[in-house]
Amino acid sequence: MPGRTTLMAGAGLAALAVLGTALYGSGLLPGNTGGALQPCAGATPALARVDAAAKGEVAGMQALKQARPAPEIRFKGPDGAETGLSGLKGRLLLVNLWATWCAPCKAEMPALDRLQTELGGPDFAVVAINVDTRNLDKPPEWLKQAGIHALPFYADPGGRVLPAIQRDTQSPGLPTTMLIDAQGCTIGVMKGPAAWSSPDGLGLIRAVLGRESQGSQSRS
């Protein structure tokens, strides 16, 4: 019965089309732009702000073409207990990797300390992670001698963070800095040092936080 066969085939195709639409909308099929495959889709406005404000002393901050979840690295917090970036979510983070054997790293630490003093709070923090794996008493002692007081001491003596960040950012050296939004999405990467407490550095963070008007008032 050709007529019946044609009807059954048509019904089967219709069912497949409905199933395909449902799967595509759920984010289970390749190429879908649904939320399941784009957990950082909401970061698009922040990417534009980073791109517009990365100039002058912080021109090296590169806004990602598309935000992505930050790597779940583990390291020691100021109390010595293990923590991770997921435990610091909820505010904009400037995550900086540094070492005492890295001269450019040490040169920018005072500026990072001033940035934390100036803008650190419930919506922003500098997370400077020391990646020394030897002479572990040296990094905190150097911070004291350099007058670094505002930055909490984060460290990775186990050597896990540096290779993980190098793979994620394609940055072979130090310092490397990541800008991570409150939802835990990487929105910018800086390869090399910067004058973070300069007007350009403060302006970048204020712009991403949506504080441009506040920054303008403080300069007037």
Determine the pLDDT at residue 218. 44
Q: What is the pTM of this model?
A: 0.81
Determine the pLDDT at residue 74. 97
Whether 215 and 206 have beta carbons less than 8 Å apart is answered as yes
Q: Which residues have CB under 8 Å from 19's CB, separation 6+?
A: none
Q: Tens digit of pLDDT per residue, the chain (220 long)?
A: 555 544 444 444 444 344 443 333 333 444 444 445 578 999 999 999 999 999 999 999 999 999 999 999 999 999 999 999 999 999 999 999 999 999 999 999 999 999 999 999 999 999 999 999 999 999 999 999 999 999 999 999 999 999 999 999 999 999 999 999 999 999 999 999 999 999 999 999 999 999 864 444 444 3
Determine the pLDDT at residue 216. 46
Angle at 67 between CA 62 and CA 71, to 5 degrees: 95
Q: What is the largest CA-CA distance in the chain?
A: 91
Count each helix (H run) and each strand (E run) in the chain, helices first: 7, 8
